[in-house]
Structure 1
Amino acid sequence: MSRTRVTAADATDVRTAHQDLHSERGALRGEHPGRSRNPVIKVADLAWLEFEKPDLARAEVFALDFGFSVAARTADALWLRGTFAGSPCMVIRRGRRSRFIGPAFRAADPADLDRLARATGTDVRNADVPGGGRAVTLLDPSGFPVRVVHCAQQLPELPGQQPLPLNFGTGHRRTNAAQRPPREPSRIQRLGHVVLETRVFGRALDWYLDTLGMIVSDFLFLDGRRDRGPTMAFVRCDQGGLAVDHHTLAMHLGPGNGYVHSAYQVTDLDSIAAGGEYLAERGYRRSWGIGRHIQGSQLFDYWRDPDHLMLEHFADGDLFSCDLEPGWAPMSAGGLAQWGPPATRDFLGAGPSPRRIRDVVQALRGDNEMDPARLFGLLKAANS
């Protein structure tokens, strides 16, 4: 992960700038603080995401077109990686249908696994990751298996795409040379974040803060219903003064419990755009993009794989240290991007489908945080 050391003076300046940009008034008295006072451990980063798919050969074709490299391959599992040194980005296991299993987070220290196991009444077991390792497997309040892992070996760095030299005003880095971005896959550098939908947003958020020591970068709330608390959170890892990704995990309240999308860092805007042309030429479908987000500031481009799962190419995301307080903003489709095309119904999941209708019926009948007022507010936000 790209990181920056922030001084105390820098932290004061960046905290004020963040509040001015993202908050109306910052947190109000009694609102969620966005962090736990005494978490069990503090995870360092996402390690990888776990999926199941029935056709590993087809999954590998898309993975290579999207920009992954293969770290390991067996008859029943495909491990994918980026160019940066570290752990794999993703494992796809053979299964009866295409589905997301859960995330794996990287422990900052091997001893954290023992501490986590004692606190949760679980065991530390061997992890089936290339090179070996140890893991604790938990279940979050939404029902997702969550692994916290420590890998015995790191994958070595691979050759990556180099950012193109750009001319700015009187700063001329490129002369007597034309600019020709190669039409090739956007070579993935690393896993950035995963976004999940949950019917038990408040319980799930507190679990990740209390158990894994994560902290909130930004809260979103339903317009006119701030008194009922946030309905989305962008959550980062806490590495003290070391600035890390604006969000490693994002969660929002919804009628379903499920995967929304995952995001993978690439070199720059040209890598996003040229890689997008490469994907389009091969018949894949863009969900939304290209644009620049507000929360996190990333340049983004969203695509669907052959099984309709959504993946994002991103570049130039915000990096925050632990000194930055959470921002607060109303939730709306128009508030997702600084520039770019309007968010699509496909990206927002706003299109009616039998599965979505079942989710809504089950959510309104179940013991969770969804009710008619919140459902109406979410629908309104998706169309605002």
Structure 2
Amino acid sequence: MTRLITHLRHVDLAVPDYDRQREFYAGVWGLTEVATDSGLSFLAAEGSPEQYVVRLRRADDKRLDLVAFGADSPAEVDALAERLGRAGVRLISQPGAVDTPGGGYGFRFFDIDGRTIEVSADVAVRGHRRLEAKEAVPVRLSHVVLNSPDLDATRRWYERHLDFALSDTLSSPRMGEVMHFMRCNPQHHSVALAKGPHTSLHHISFEMRGLDEYMYGTGRLLRAGVRMIWGPGRHLAGDNTFSYFLDPHGNTVEYTTELELLDEDTWHPSVHDFSRPEVTDQWGTANPMNELVARESFNDPDRGVFVAPPV
């Protein structure tokens, strides 16, 4: 199918302890700071053509500033803005020049839960490179998972307005459906929606070069004393590896690799019972999924709901 949104670009965070977060992401986590500007830090992944995959902003309150997606052309940006406007979606800005590294043409709007979403095209491609064997830093941004208090309403909104498709669902006999994996391209998911008590960031995931690099990176973080809350293991839905850590402000961040690519013409979504251990971790190497792990992923209630970031 033809979609106006093509891929995930970057995830932007507001952080009270800006210097500590900057040191974490540009240090042990393995991103590269490519630009700074008055309390803003733009961090790239070495293997990614995106200008940056994480933006940090110095702020009094912790919040998710925005999630940014790409489109193929300014015409498709305009078409999406017109569609959302007709449907009554609250636009934060009209399509125009994007004033961040790489420039481009885009606009912002609120999703159903009040998160700020940006869609842009014509962003300059960043010079990037092929990572070498044993180089255990992120190749690119893999996906973002968002907590929603009304899981199915949020799924329907992303399907209707942004053309995301459902890849798979996690469910259990006791809790019902708890996560929808959503795609905007053949990657199993660029966004996942998790059932949570409030609107918040669940986690941000970064793709590593391969299994060795994923494990080397996991080991580097453990040796540095970064708290790992779950992993290392391999999920069934998406077939990707996982090691989940907490950044200095309690946001969950993940190293992953080998996320499944789908044949969209033949794929049919499945409902996986995550109460079965082999669903959450095929390998059986990770600590069990339990309420403590889930509670960490709920994160703090987002203070940016229906409040656009200042930049």
Shorter-chain TM range is: 0.7 to 0.9
Find the counterpart in structure 2 of residue 220 from structure 1: 170
Find the counterpart in structure 1 of residue 156 from structure 2: 206
In structure 1, list runs of 5 or more residues that go unmatched: 1-36, 163-180, 239-243, 357-384
Find the counterpart in structure 2 of residue 75 from structure 1: 38
Tell me the SS of whatever aligns to 1:311. strand
Shift in Å, 1:225: 8.1
TM-score, structure 1 as length reference: 0.69
In structure 2, list runs of 5 or more residues that go unmatched: 86-90, 302-311
Q: Once the two structures are superposed, what CA deviation does each residue of 1:83-111 show, in whole Å capped at 9, x if it has no partner?
A: 22421111111111332223111113221
The count of corresponding residues between Structure 1 and Structure 2 is: 288
> How do residues 14-53 of structure 1 correspond to structure 2 at under 5 angstroms?
41-53=3-15
Find the counterpart in structure 1 of residue 139 from structure 2: 189
Find the counterpart in structure 2 of residue 101 from structure 1: 65
What amino acid maps onto 1:49 in structure 2? Answer: V
C-alpha contact 2:252 2:297 (8 A) present in aligned 1: no
| Residue 11 (structure 2) pairs with residue 65 (structure 1) | no
Measure, in 1, the Cα distance between the counterparts of 2:298 and 2:69: 33
| Residue 202 (structure 2) pairs with residue 260 (structure 1) | yes
Tell me the SS of whatever aligns to 2:229. strand
Distance 1:80 1:236, change over 3 A: same
C-alpha contact 1:107 1:149 (8 A) present in aligned 2: yes
> How do residues 125-274 of structure 1 correspond to structure 2 at under 5 angstroms?
125-158=96-129, 160-162=131-133, 186-223=136-173, 230-238=177-185, 244-274=186-216
Distance 1:333 1:110, change over 3 A: farther
Q: Let me know the Cα RMSD of the aligned residues.
A: 2.5
Measure, in 2, the Cα distance between the counterparts of 1:316 and 1:261: 18
2:81 to 117, 130, 136: 117
Distance 1:297 1:95, change over 3 A: same
1:343 to 259, 280, 289: 289
1:326 to 265, 269, 279: 269
C-alpha contact 2:147 2:200 (8 A) present in aligned 1: yes
Shift in Å, 1:159: 5.2
1:297 to 222, 234, 239: 239
Q: Once the two structures are superposed, what CA deviation does each residue of 1:5-45 show, in whole Å capped at 9, x if it has no partner?
A: xxxxxxxxxxxxxxxxxxxxxxxxxxxxxxxx9x9x53111
Distance 1:158 1:57, change over 3 A: farther
Tell me the SS of whatever aligns to 2:289. coil
Greater gyration radius: 1
Measure, in 1, the Cα distance between the counterparts of 2:297 and 2:29: 25
What amino acid maps onto 2:168 in structure 1? Answer: D
Shift in Å, 1:344: 5.0
TM-score, structure 2 as length reference: 0.85
How many percent identity over aligned positions? 26
Structure with the larger helix share: 1
Find the counterpart in structure 1 of residue 309 from structure 2: none
Shift in Å, 1:322: 1.7
Tell me the SS of whatever aligns to 1:319. coil
1:283 to 186, 207, 225: 225
Shift in Å, 1:248: 0.6
Measure, in 1, the Cα distance between the counterparts of 2:32 and 2:297: 33
